[in-house]
Homo-oligomer: A and B are copies of this chain.
Amino acid sequence: MKLRLAAALALSAPTLIASGYDKVDPFIGTGGEGHTFPGAVAPFGMVQLSPDTDTGCQIRDCYSHAAGYRYDDPTIQGFSHTHFSGAGHSDLGDFLVMPVSGDAVPLEPGDPKVPESGYRSRFNHADEVAQPGYYAVTLADAGVRAEMTAGTRVGVHRYAFPAGKAAHLVLDLRSSLYNYPGKILWSSLRLHADGTLTGTRQTRGWAPDRQLFFAIRFSAPLTGHAFVSTEKDVTYKGFQGPGRGSDALAERAGRALVARLDFGQLSQPLEVKVALSSVDEAGALANLDSEAGGFDQIRAATRQAWTQALGAVDLQAPAPMAKSLYTALYHSLLAPSVAGDADGRFRGPDNQVHRADGYTFRSTFSLWDTFRAEHPLLALVQPQQTTSEIVRSLIDSRRYSPDGILPVWQFQGRETWTMIGYHAVPVIADAYLKGIRGFDADAALDAMVASATYAPYGGLGEYQRLGYVPIDREPEAASKTVEYAYDDWTIARMARAMGRIDVAKQFEARAGNWRNSFDPKTGFVRARLASGAFRTPFNPTAINYGSDYTEGNAWQYSWFVPQDQEALFRTMGGDKAAVAKLDAMFDYDNSKLDYSHAEDIAGLIGQYIHGNEPSHHVAYLYDHAGAPWRTQARLTQIVASQYKPTPDGLSGNDDLGQMSAWLFFTGLGFYPVTPGSLQYAIGRPFVERAVLNLPDGKRFTVVADGMAPGNDYVGQVALKGRPLTRSYITHDEIMAGGELRFVMQKLPNKRWGTARSARPYSMSSARE
């Protein structure tokens, strides 16, 4: 009896330490504007194996399917291996696989409105399961139970086909996300003698020239196959190889390929193990072999990895908040994802293959978003290996960049030139200043300086000459000027810490350039012409492409001086004026404004736009004006209105973890307003208790006494048992371990944190 029980336990999943694993809900953000995906992925995994509900988008409506899956859609088109988590523009959806049962195997996806018109299938959310590293659904039309799991560089499908029906897979190389006509430049399929299937696809999408390779092994032998080209208008087809007139070729290449793979009737579920590589097919094959085991083994290993990664924090909070926060942590641990092969090779910005020297190359850098809170969060919960590898990847990306500069928006090693700034710079500086090592700091500083002085990029030539980006030479000039000035300040900070005083002085001077874009008359950051005049007409509420601003207007961008909010507030007329202007922003009557023409403008509170990044630090700025209780009130307002533990629970694109990292920090009661300052502005916690399990065994605990509905203000704060009268804590204080204790109350404490010396970092008043 006892023996039988032990055997039964051994067959079940390995016993796990309790953690946030079960509280994560990957469906959060898969509806609304979140653009997250529900499928299977390992922490920072190269493979994101997830259902695509519709890839048939055309131009404008692609946006809604940026992550392939849309919660409201009635059908699943298939399961593809690459997805961004929360991107505002998109690509990927590589190598779509769909099971089909029975004799008829459609090779077109069909119309979602016409059931059984193609290989797509209806499904019910009741039949779905999504966990970190695991996704399952029943495909109603095919009668197939589909399960997905993923390792670092592999994805494993498991399909239980209905008894008595032939099992098939469709592998559709024509399917892709943001699949504009002409996107698929080339693709190929090759069946090896041992039954392994390899292939490649070259696409012209967001990355204008991207190659991805795959290798697939099946748990059952193929009984037949067809590699079909549906391309029309091929002027010259060359000579025919073996299998003339047949689709049962050993290989096929073309611009529109779809494969039918037959397995006959199966007595066991079919497992399909897929590895990817940006390098070559040999890389994909080696990646396939580098992670041992089948579905259950990969799933268990990834579950273990997630349990460990999510164990960075132990949370005690109301169930909906715990769900939101653990899911936020989960979403923040997806990118920058592994982009290099198991053997160290990777494809760089020059589209050539290089070898990472003793580390794993990572990509998916959405830096305009993620320099704010996502990278500071990683520097806290994954400081050494992950952050060090990120910095090494950035340095190597610059080394192999045709322009000799750091990444802007890169994935799979390929640059997209999306958004503005050189925000790899604050990521590196923040990591270095936090004591994270394992990279060549001199090479890093060289790369940062090179990126900040490369004249052909984003008006940097004029910026260096004039002290601002002129709007008659370069669009979105106001946003660029203020963001460059902040990035410059982080270069100065790192250079000073390295003793490179010449560089520090040069960039400290540039850090004040935001002043050149501030208009004291209107009180807004605005764009100047090369002549020096501000561009007119000026409408602080207008949001347009090619305007003075990037995805925003003067209201959001006038707060972007994280290196020197104190000086900004002075130019605005002092703290009181700043507070009044902040209030005016949040309380703005936007009922008559229509921003539906602009992507990424979602989550409005007046002119505060939580769904997009320029606003993310703004609620904390009351701290800088000596009014932390206003920060607390605004955070209460934002968290209540912008996050829900439901599919439509993110008010904007998650942006590769930035929206989630904002919530995670905010939930714990502090936020990195100024990466590079080594400080976190204190807000208000949304947890009863949180223990950060720091890498060296230390623990930093946040406790909120009196946490209850309505107790939305901080009465007092204590650090390690001593009263904390300032509205910030430092990175060192967290890393040293200890307890940060809040007392929550119904009414604001309007005196706490008001003293000038109590406010977070500003370079004007910094004494270091």
Q: Which residues in B have their C-beta under 8 angstroms from that of A574?
A: none
* Binary flags per residue of A407-427, CB closer than 8 Å to B gives 1, else 0: 001000001111000000000
Does A73 reach chain B (CB closer than 8 Å)? Answer: no
User: Looking across the interface, which residue of chain B has its beta carbon closest to that of A282?
Assistant: B352
Q: Which residues in B have their C-beta under 8 angstroms from that of A499?
A: none
Q: Which of B235, B351, B416 interacts with A180 by CB under 8 Å?
A: B235
Smallest Cβ distance from A364 to chain B, in angstroms?
A: 16
Q: Which residues in B have their C-beta under 8 angstroms from that of A208?
A: 237-238, 253
Known A208-B238, A238-B417: A185·B188 in contact at CB below 8 Å? no
Q: Are A188 and B209 in contact (CB under 8 A)?
A: yes
Q: Are B456 and A242 in contact (CB under 8 A)?
A: yes
Q: Which residues of A227-243 have CB atoms within 8 Å of chain B's CB atoms?
A: 233-243
Q: Are A280 and B353 in contact (CB under 8 A)?
A: yes
The A contact surface, by secondary structure, is loop
Q: Which residues of A351-388 have CB atoms within 8 Å of chain B's CB atoms?
A: 351-353
- Chain A interface size, under 10 / 10 to 19 / 20 to 34 / 35 or more: 35 or more
* Binary flags per residue of A321-347, CB closer than 8 Å to B gives 1, else 0: 000000000000000000000000000
This chain: copies in complex? 2
Q: Are A236 and B193 in contact (CB under 8 A)?
A: no
Does A183 reach chain B (CB closer than 8 Å)? Answer: yes
Q: Are A238 and B205 in contact (CB under 8 A)?
A: yes
User: Looking across the interface, which residue of chain B has its beta carbon closest to that of A255?
Assistant: B185
Q: Are A404 and B193 in contact (CB under 8 A)?
A: yes
Q: Are B352 and A280 in contact (CB under 8 A)?
A: yes
Does A204 reach chain B (CB closer than 8 Å)? Answer: yes
Q: Are A417 and B240 in contact (CB under 8 A)?
A: yes
A299 vs B457: C-alpha distance in the bound complex, in angstroms?
43
Q: Which residues in B have their C-beta under 8 angstroms from that of A415?
A: 241
Q: What are 12 A-B contacts with C-beta separation under 8 Å?
A: A180-B235, A180-B236, A192-B402, A206-B238, A239-B416, A239-B417, A242-B403, A242-B417, A246-B456, A250-B403, A250-B404, A281-B352
Q: CB within 8 Å of B: which residues of A?
A: 59, 178, 180-183, 185-186, 188, 190-193, 202, 204-209, 233-244, 246, 248, 250-251, 253, 280-282, 350-353, 402-405, 409, 415-418, 454, 456-458, 474
Known: A181-B235, A208-B237. 16 other contacts (CB 8 A): A180-B235, A183-B236, A190-B402, A191-B402, A205-B238, A208-B238, A239-B409, A240-B417, A241-B403, A241-B415, A241-B457, A242-B457, A242-B458, A244-B474, A250-B403, A280-B353
Across the A-B interface, the 10 shortest Cβ-Cβ residue pairs: A242-B456, A180-B236, A251-B402, A242-B457, A250-B402, A239-B417, A241-B417, A209-B253, A180-B235, A243-B456
